[in-house]
């Protein structure tokens, strides 16, 4: 098995070849900026690339055929890491974390170690008894659920995620509401994440949240706490789709032209570390996707002696333009 499986080469060089883009490092210099760390408070744990869906915007090219999933041994190493270096937020993502057999072991281990434990879900990876037992675990640990839900228009959402995806997602959101998630006064937080369905930047988070809240309540009686909108990063399957549909150059031009110097300060990579399914550290999930570690060698969580201090450099590539477009990817 290769270290990052079937990942495509990324836009580190591809963007420049395709669209004569000013290197991301150069635009920072031109604006008198540097992208360096602040105090690290969040650990993102990528449990692997196995997923039941094959979404076209996925920068990791996750899908049903992927074999990379986190072992119990790696989970134990991450729990030990999080005990040695307390984080305010731990964010479990994938792929579809629900498909990783030892996920309950990871949740049980991490929940006491951070005030906020988040679990990403595509709302369709598990069903029946498996879903109910995971839900009970999440309720017991007050895990924050972060569900991907691209659009309140079923035909748009199904185009991104596959036929029938919206119907399944709505049924699961209703079940989560019944369990108290997203319902005021329960303390069980249910957040949604929406990525644009097409080759465009997201609309403002505020207006999207208003629309989603209105539509979900009116059409399906579903409630949630917060909506986050993110630009799609032109890596992996999204890059392949952009190229196949002739949208690649236009999309790259769009994110480059939308470069917002004031987004740098709030970028998530300033305060977050990302750990891969096999236990190695990266500056963010996009660096993880292209296998770009910080420094000349990968560092395993078991070998970490100190967290990167404020001012430490962050590994960047031209894909960073997707994070600094408009209001930024925070």
Cα 140 from chain centroid (whole Å): 24
Task: Name the strand (E) or helix (H) holding 285.
Answer: helix 285-290
Contact indicator for 96, 125 with CB cutoff of 8 Å: yes
Q: Closer to ligand SF4 by CB, 312 or 314: give it.
A: 314
d(CA 232, CA 234): 6
- DSSP, collapsed to helix, strand or coil, labels residue 164 as coil
Shortest distance (Å) from residue 288 CB to ligand SF4 = 9
d(CA 319, CA 256): 10
Length of the chain equals 330
Q: Closer to ligand SF4 by CB, 126 or 146: give it.
A: 146
Shortest distance (Å) from residue 290 CB to ligand SF4 = 9
Q: Closer to ligand SF4 by CB, 60 or 113: give it.
A: 60
Shortest distance (Å) from residue 127 CB to ligand SF4 = 33
Q: Closer to ligand SF4 by CB, 238 or 319: give it.
A: 319
Q: Closer to ligand SF4 by CB, 126 or 255: give it.
A: 255
Shortest distance (Å) from residue 248 CB to ligand SF4 = 18
Q: Based on the number of CB atoms within 10 Å of its own CB, is 178 exposed (0-12), middle (13-18) or buried (19 or more)?
A: exposed
* Angle in degrees, CA 327, 329, 330, rounded to 5: 100
Which positions touch ligand SF4 (CB under 6 A)? 267-269, 283-284, 286-287, 314, 316, 319-320, 323, 329
Shortest distance (Å) from residue 137 CB to ligand SF4 = 29
């Amino acid at each position: 098995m290769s270290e990052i499986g079937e990942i495509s080469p990324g836009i580190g060089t591809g963007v420049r070849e395709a669209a004569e883009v000013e290197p991301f490092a150069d635009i920072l210099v031109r604006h008198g900026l540097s992208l360096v760390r602040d105090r690290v408070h969040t650990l993102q744990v990528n449990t692997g690339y196995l997923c039941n869906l094959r979404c076209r915007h996925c920068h990791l090219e996750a899908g049903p055929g992927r074999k990379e999933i986190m072992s119990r041994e790696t989970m134990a190493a991450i729990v030990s890491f999080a005990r040695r270096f307390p984080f305010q937020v731990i964010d479990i993502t994938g792929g579809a974390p629900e498909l990783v057999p030892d996920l309950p072991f990871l949740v049980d281990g991490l929940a006491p170690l951070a005030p906020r434990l988040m679990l990403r879900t595509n709302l369709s990876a598990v069903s029946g008894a498996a879903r109910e037992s995971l839900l009970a675990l999440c309720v017991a640990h007050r895990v924050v659920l972060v569900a991907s839900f691209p659009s309140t228009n079923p035909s748009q959402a199904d185009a991104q995620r596959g036929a029938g995806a919206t119907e399944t997602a709505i049924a699961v959101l209703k079940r989560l509401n019944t369990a108290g998630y997203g319902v005021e006064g329960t303390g069980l937080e249910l957040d949604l994440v929406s990525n644009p369905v097409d080759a465009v930047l997201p609309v403002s988070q505020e207006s999207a949240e208003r629309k989603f809240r209105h539509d979900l309540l009116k059409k399906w009686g579903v409630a949630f706490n917060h909506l986050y909108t993110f630009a799609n990063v032109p890596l992996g399957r999204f890059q392949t789709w952009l190229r196949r549909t002739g949208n690649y150059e236009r999309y790259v031009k769009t994110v480059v032209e939308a470069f917002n110097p004031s987004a740098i300060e709030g970028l998530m990579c300033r305060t977050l570390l990302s750990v891969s399914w096999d236990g190695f550290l990266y500056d963010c999930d996009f660096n993880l996707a292209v296998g770009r570690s910080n420094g000349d060698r990968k560092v395993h969580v078991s070998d970490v002696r100190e967290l990167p201090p404020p001012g430490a450099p962050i590994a960047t590539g031209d894909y960073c333009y997707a994070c600094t477009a408009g209001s930024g990817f925070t």
